[in-house]
Amino acid sequence: MAWSLLDIKWKPFPPNLEDFSMSAVLNTSKVYLKPIDRDGLQAFAAKGRENPGARGTMKAHTVCDGQFRNLTYIGKHAPVVVDEPLHLFGQDTAPAPSEALLAALGACLSVGIQAVATWRNVGLTKLELFLEGDIGNPAAWGAGGADKKPAEMGFQAVRVKVVVQGDATREALEDIVRHANFFSPVANSYRNPIPMEVSLA
């Protein structure tokens, strides 16, 4: 699977600086993203160092609502709705499964970037991720479509653009993104082969 190195885009300072009075510039204060608990993060990291083999089991319960619309129940949260677009015989009431997979990747990378920035004492004022994935379904889910091998199905390339602003140089922010990408659980779920069993209950 091809994997793109995450890029950082910078939002430049407004070019029409003459439109701002000096007092307005001096009175401008930064608005930071709501921070996470740094002490708690450090304690969590310490537990990981003490027990590097620690892992748990996540569980989800997916219920078909008909016509490709599915509700997945996870813990106490409202169900995650996943559908298919109209041209794929769904109702287009929610993102498609592959789009939800991109959402999971984007959220996990965002969490990692925030965690690494917090660890390095870098305040962030903006963080957005734009994701693209190249995928097709000529096999029609195995329902009489093209004969495809597993390696030919699923995402064939994924690209992520990260827009990040904070109290650090471009190089430092780029290193934070690179570090988060390397250690991201979901990004590594994309990259690594994972043993999977599907059977009747």
Q: Determine, yes or no, domain membership for 35.
A: no
Percent residues over pLDDT 90 in the chain: 85
Provide the domain limits for residue 167: 2-11+96-191
Q: Determine, yes or no, domain membership for 44.
A: no
Find residue 163's DSSP bridge partners: 9, 128
The predicted model scores a pTM of 0.85
Q: How many domains does the chain have?
A: 1
Q: Determine, yes or no, domain membership for 70.
A: no
> Quick check: 5 pLDDT over 90?
no
pLDDT in tens, 146-201: 999 999 999 999 999 999 999 999 999 999 999 999 999 999 999 999 999 999 99
Percent residues over pLDDT 70 in the chain: 86
Q: Determine, yes or no, domain membership for 18.
A: no
Residue 115's domain is classified under what CATH number? 3.30.300.20
Q: Determine, yes or no, domain membership for 64.
A: no
> Quick check: 18 pLDDT over 80?
no
Rounded to the nearest integer, the mean pLDDT of the chain is: 89
Residue 43 vs residues 37, 39, 46, 109, 192: alpha-carbon distances, Å: 10, 6, 5, 21, 28
Q: Determine, yes or no, domain membership for 19.
A: no
